[in-house]
Amino acid sequence: MSVLPLCVLPHPVLRQQAQPVDSFTRGLRRMAMDLLDTMYANDGVGLAAPQVGWSLQLFVANPSQQAGRELIVANPVLEPAGGRARIVEGCLSVPKAWHRVRRSARVRLRGQDLSGHPLVLEAEGLLAIVLQHEVDHLGGRLFIDRLSWWQRRRLLWRAARNA
């Protein structure tokens, strides 16, 4: 498979609503494997298709970073299931920027696997955070959009200075 170049802010694809996956082919499987290779090559725990320039509702995740524990989801729909969590997040598409973000502590995710079969997952902890982060990407939203205007401006200024 391939390690793909990452799209970084202000790339326009990062701000677009991704298109639903409607064809579950060998090509989609190859795309998912490329996403995994790219995620691991960049020491990530999740990666959404828009982060490599594909406006497609597809993401991969593996917060444990243990081989064989990868999660691949197409057309996800996320439902908060309770609780609040605050965790320091970063993003491969917003290099050198880290900030504490408020999210749901538990979520329920509905989507499809690479064969188009329904997938339902309940998650908490780091996996719940990663799922929310990746689903945000598919809607054209970045973790910095969850910060106040002042926090976002300050964070991006610091990241630019450290680049």
Q: What percent of the chain has pLDDT over 90?
A: 91
Beta bridge partners of 82: 106
Which tokens is 161 given? 């200075």
Class at the top of the CATH hierarchy for domain 12-162: alpha beta
| Structure-derived torsion over alpha carbons of residues 5, 6, 10, 11, reported in degrees to the nearest 10 | 60
What does the pLDDT read at residue 163? 73
Cross-strand bridge partners of residue 79: 108
The parts of the chain modelled with pLDDT lower than 50 are none
Residue 151 backbone phi and psi in degrees, to 5: -60, -45
- Which of 70, 79, 124, 134 is catalytic? The answer is 134
CA proximity to 94, closest of 54, 34, 144, 41: 144
* Active-site annotation holds for 89: no
What is residue 66's predicted lDDT score, i.e. its pLDDT?
A: 86
Cβ contact 94:137 at 8 Å:
no
Q: What is residue 131's predicted lDDT score, i.e. its pLDDT?
A: 97
> Residue 40's pLDDT is what?
96
Q: Please name every residue paired with 123 in a beta bridge, in sequence order, or none if there are none.
A: 107
Contacts of 61 (CB under 8 A, 6+ apart): 45, 46, 47, 70, 71, 73, 127, 130, 131, 134
DSSP state of 63: T
